[in-house]
Amino acid sequence: MDVDQETPENQVKTCRSEGLKRQCLDQAFLGAKAQDAETQVVVVNDEDDAAPDSKGIQALLQELKTEVRRSGGGPVQYLEKHCDAAGFRQWLHDCFPLREDIHYSHDEKTLPLVEEKEMSDVLPLTVHVSALGFTRDCSLKPPCGLDLMLTLCNLYLTEGFTTAAEPLMVLQNTTPGISEKLPELENGGLKTFSLGYLKGLARATSLLCLLHFMKKRHVNPEQQFPALWDSVLRIRVHHVKTTSRMNEALTNMKISCKGSVRKATNTVQTVFMLKSLATVGVPDPMALVKQWNAMSARAFQISGKRQSTLKLLFEAAPKVVLDDILDHVQTLGWDNSVWHDDNLSTKKLYPKHQFPARSKLWQQRLRTTEESMALAVRRLQQCHIRLPEYQRKKPDIAGVDEVSAMAACAVNLVQELLKLAPISEEKLQEEFLKPFADGCPGVAQELEVALLDKSESFDIRNMATFRRLLDEQVFARPVAASKIEEDALTIDKVALVLKQCQYDQQVFSAWMKKVNNLKNEREQQEHAWKLSQRTKCSAAADLCCKSCLRLEVWDPTKPESAIASIMDFRRLTILGKLGLSTDSKDVATLLWLNSSAPSLVSVGISSAYMQTLAWALHDQLQGMAMVLSPTFSYGRGKLHLEASPEPAGTMIIDLFVRTGEFAEAFLKQRPNRPKTFFIGFCENQTEVTWVETVLKSSLADSYLSGAVMPGGEKIPTQMPEDLAVIRDGKLGMPVEIVKEWGNHPLAKDFQTWLATFQQQGGVIVDPAEAAKEADEKRKASEKPDSEPPAKKLKGNVKIEDALLCEAETISQPLLHECKVTLSKDNVALLQVRAGSEIWLINKGPKDFMGDFHQVAGFGRGSFKLLKQDEEPAQGARLVEFKLSSYKDLIYLNNQCVTVGQAVQQQRVTKPDCKVTYHEIQQDPEKTLHEFSLKMTHRVAFMSKTEELSAEASFGNLALKEKDSLWSESKALCVLWHCRWTAKGLSPVKPAVHLRGGLVLKPGQALKCHEKLVAA
């Protein structure tokens, strides 16, 4: 027989004997393993090309989780509910075609068998993915749960479905019903979806569930997940030989105990294996336990309480209860579930158990049944699930016994009530048993009171729930109302509901007006409070500086003027502050001269401060000078001066203030040294203004941070509680009222009002969901590490797709061109062509992506102050700094933000912040952050003349066309780059930016010269 098989050299050989065929298969399998290993190295070393997008994987898994949870909680349940076998088979063959270079074992209906102990010496067989079965009868074990499926699918999407190192162990004991209706993989060969599993049910069904979900979502595995696609082309399996179904179960349990990933079969899974053995005709399923204990290690043997639990579940537990327990265990896992071998071993949970009681009546009420066991199991599981994960713990035997007694009492009391009154069983189920099963504390409290003493005089009519149901039954109308009476009552009821809703709407409207007025008023008050605190700190800083600090300007031609200023400062300020006479000598002088960079000082000023230095040292023997110089000298043999007591005052003279570091250090130390004073000399008045502004601002910031002001007062760091802002509210309509009257034929007036209510902003809410969301928000706010989400400063604005076209269609001659580089691989070309056409073209191999990024500039230039009616000179290029409202866009800290956002963020630390050359005008009827801007000075950026004729580049291309073409474009706009200075929000330069987000494919062009349509 001729067989084509892939070899390590990727060539096809023909095998004409069984020995040569096996040798060829061995070589091919080893080659495939080497090829897989090589592929794995490539994935690790080249993440950019081979690693799937982690965010895309998580999004896909989240959607899969939601879909599977709706379908029953597992991959088998999902496939049984949604899978169209014929369509799914065709899709698998289209996406994973049978390849000629791979040998598939599809030619026979039955795959070659292999003993379990020989699997390590025999090469696995290769089958197509469509041969794998997914129905419940494919394995003795129950289907896997949702968590295990998601873990496996995550591995498949990142690393692929690897079966080379660990092939699937398949069986062909039974043929699923769906396989009979589908064609074979080859004529007369292996059937579709026919393979069962000794080990591998969870892996295979999770893979098929993931592939079917990709089919529904139209995902192409070959393009988006190449590692998964390549690994699914070769599904390697071992057809394991088993002598009986009992041997199959034992082999499964033995393999489950091996390996670090696998977990030993838990008690509930073992019970289902016993049930499956009984279903397929095994006469004594419990013999599995004896055979398993004889062949397994002591740690994995079924003995003690586990054995008694297994026997109780198998012999006494109803199938409905077993299914409920299995779903719970498969969802949470055996370790995280409410069950363990101890609490399942109590006989008081199972049917036909009699709890002790003094009277025969209570003995009947405390007898367990199948229904009571189902009720107790449901309550235990629901109470466990409702708790947070950190509070969950497995109940002990006493806790399970208590719930079982309450469940037995509840079921038997319901039967007694049915004999007393003709109450429907469905109503009792809904009003009493279901709340108890769902964990309702009210019903449980009623049962606890009844079980407290088990009195013979107990009357079930004394229980609150039963008494209410009996009262409803007694006072129910014995004769049915006529149709006319029912309609009249319905109309009156609708009218009442409508009047109540209208009244609530009026009250809410009036309340919202008051709240909005109060909100705006308190917001203004909050800003006024912050502004007053800032003003108070600035005034304190100004007073502090005036009382102890003074800055003067050097006059190089008259150094004696500096000496006169020093003498006036000492006589008029220092001596007066200290209460000394005008001729007092108790004020020492400390001179500071930063002469570390003499080249920065002019010759006249240098000569002046040297003369002042000499005068100050000769004027007072207590004076001292500190000079920071690049060179120094040292004189030997000088006498050490004896220390003298500290004088009453000290005057510091800074002869070269410059950036004011020494003055700032003086102000920091001034609170601890109140008898020190400072006078400094600057080069010009601009330097004096700048140093004073910086020092006062720094001092005001320190006062706002909690430093003590000169008067001993401290500014509070937090706003008072009475200035808290009230949040906006919305009026909601309960969803139950809408369900009742939204489509009722007699509630037309209500339906008309409801439509108007929704148009006016009303919402329909579910009170339970709203309470749950409020609780989640409250819990999130209580977390110490929780932070409010940062606001996105960039708007979600996209450039119209209609402006995109193919670059080949551009026909106008090219005049100027520059490269727009946003990153290494994010490059485009901005072109100016004849006829005032502007194009942004992507000639690279990758997409060009931008979002309000700069594409051109206006060259080098300077700012010019214009008169109100001044016109620019002929030939000059000016861009005026003009803002109108808080909605205007600017570019701040490499982000496109509105002026309102920038001011709002700056007001957190500086409530008195300003916008330079503009006045902020607040509207009392709007919020604090909604304002208009009035221009106070005309300031414009004027490009240099040489930039107009310079070669086009990224920095000056905007000068090659008129300004209106950039500012009125649908795709581009002119934004001002700004920064915060001591004067406020100041302009830096204008530039041309994209008007929104853009993705430009290779070979595409953006039409930038189309103008905006006037509103």
Say if residue 278's pLDDT is above 70. yes
Say if residue 289's pLDDT is above 60. yes
Q: Distance (Å, rounded) from C-alpha 1 to C-alpha 17?
A: 7
Check if the beta carbon of residue 433 is closer than 8 Å to that of residue 375: yes
Please tell me the predicted confidence (pLDDT) of residue 21.
38
Please tell me the predicted confidence (pLDDT) of residue 257.
63
Secondary structure string (H, E, C) spanning 583-609: CCCCEEEEEEEECCCHHHCCHHHHHHH
More confidently predicted of 830 and 613 = 830
More confidently predicted of 536 and 188 = 536
Average pLDDT, the chain: 80
Closest CA to 980 of 917, 921, 916: 916
- DSSP states of 157-190: HHH----SSS-EEEE-S---HHHHTS--SSTTSP
Please tell me the predicted confidence (pLDDT) of residue 993.
93
- The residue from 214, 241, 268 where one domain ends is 241
Residue 635 maps to a domain: no
Where residue 728 falls (left for φ over 0; alpha for ψ -120 to 50; beta otherwise) is beta
Check if the beta carbon of residue 531 is closer than 8 Å to that of residue 521: no
> Which of 318-332, 538-552, 630-644, 840-854 is predicted most confidently?
840-854
Please tell me the predicted confidence (pLDDT) of residue 294.
73
Residue 620 maps to a domain: yes
Please tell me the predicted confidence (pLDDT) of residue 16.
33
Q: What is the pLDDT of residues 42-51, one digit of tens each?
A: 333 334 444 5
Residue 540 maps to a domain: no
Where residue 869 falls (left for φ over 0; alpha for ψ -120 to 50; beta otherwise) is alpha
Please tell me the predicted confidence (pLDDT) of residue 478.
54
Q: What is the pLDDT of residues 447-472, one digit of tens each?
A: 888 888 788 888 888 888 888 888 88
Closest CA to 334 of 492, 147, 154, 203: 147
Please tell me the predicted confidence (pLDDT) of residue 258.
56
Please give the residue range of the domain that contains residue 449: 316-474
Please tell me the predicted confidence (pLDDT) of residue 526.
77
Q: Distance (Å, rounded) from C-alpha 917 to C-alpha 881?
A: 8
> Which of 248-252, 575-579, 778-782, 939-943 is predicted most confidently?
939-943
Residue 619 maps to a domain: yes
Q: Distance (Å, rounded) from C-alpha 960 to C-alpha 26?
A: 72
- The residue from 241, 265, 289 where one domain ends is 241
Q: What is the pLDDT of residues 704-740, one digit of tens each?
A: 777 777 766 777 766 655 444 444 567 788 888 888 8
Closest CA to 794 of 901, 871, 716: 901
> Do 588 and 619 belong to one domain?
yes
- DSSP states of 840-896: EE--SSS-EEEES-EEEE--SEEEEEEPTTPPPPTT--EEE----BTT-EEEETTEE
Please tell me the predicted confidence (pLDDT) of residue 172.
84
Q: What is the pLDDT of residues 759-787, one digit of tens each?
A: 877 888 877 777 777 666 656 555 444 44
More confidently predicted of 614 and 786 = 614
Tally of domains in the chain: 6
> Do 123 and 41 belong to one domain?
no
Residue 290 maps to a domain: no
Q: Distance (Å, rounded) from C-alpha 913 to C-alpha 903?
A: 7
Please tell me the predicted confidence (pLDDT) of residue 52.
62
Say if residue 480's pLDDT is above 80. no
Mean pLDDT of 959-963: 89
Residue 755 maps to a domain: yes
Q: Distance (Å, rounded) from C-alpha 182 to C-alpha 903?
A: 69
Please tell me the predicted confidence (pLDDT) of residue 637.
56
> Do 776 and 658 belong to one domain?
no
> Do 810 and 928 belong to one domain?
yes
Please tell me the predicted confidence (pLDDT) of residue 545.
80
Q: What is the pLDDT of residues 126-154, one digit of tens each?
A: 999 898 998 888 888 888 888 888 889 98
> 914: how many CB neighbours lie within 10 A of its CB?
15
> Do 756 and 831 belong to one domain?
no
> 206: how many CB neighbours lie within 10 A of its CB?
26
Please tell me the predicted confidence (pLDDT) of residue 1002.
92
Please tell me the predicted confidence (pLDDT) of residue 117.
78
> Do 599 and 737 belong to one domain?
no
> Do 443 and 341 belong to one domain?
yes
Please tell me the predicted confidence (pLDDT) of residue 10.
36
> Do 590 and 679 belong to one domain?
yes
H-helix or E-strand spanning residue 54: helix 54-70
Please tell me the predicted confidence (pLDDT) of residue 14.
34
Mean pLDDT of 381-398: 88
Q: Distance (Å, rounded) from C-alpha 750 to C-alpha 765?
A: 17
Q: What is the pLDDT of residues 150-205, one digit of tens each?
A: 889 988 898 889 888 789 888 887 878 788 888 888 877 888 888 988 888 889 99
> Do 40 and 60 belong to one domain?
no
Say if residue 612's pLDDT is above 50. yes
pTM listed for this prediction: 0.38
> Do 770 and 822 belong to one domain?
no
> Which of 789-793, 878-882, 925-929 is predicted most confidently?
878-882
> Do 751 and 871 belong to one domain?
no
> Do 947 and 1000 belong to one domain?
yes
Mean pLDDT of 9-32: 37
Q: Distance (Å, rounded) from C-alpha 765 to C-alpha 729?
A: 14
> Which of 5-14, 98-107, 464-473, 898-907 is predicted most confidently?
898-907
Structure tokens at 551: 């800055």
Residue 913 maps to a domain: yes
Contacts of 31 (CB under 8 A, 6+ apart): 6, 7, 8, 9
Please tell me the predicted confidence (pLDDT) of residue 374.
92
Say if residue 404's pLDDT is above 60. yes
Among 255-264, 469-478, 539-548, 957-966, name the one with the lowest average pLDDT. Answer: 255-264
Residue 303 maps to a domain: no
Q: What is the pLDDT of residues 303-325, one digit of tens each?
A: 777 778 777 877 888 888 888 88
Say if residue 38's pLDDT is above 80. no
- The residue from 474, 503, 537 where one domain ends is 474
Confidence of residue 648 (pLDDT cuts 50, 70, 90): low
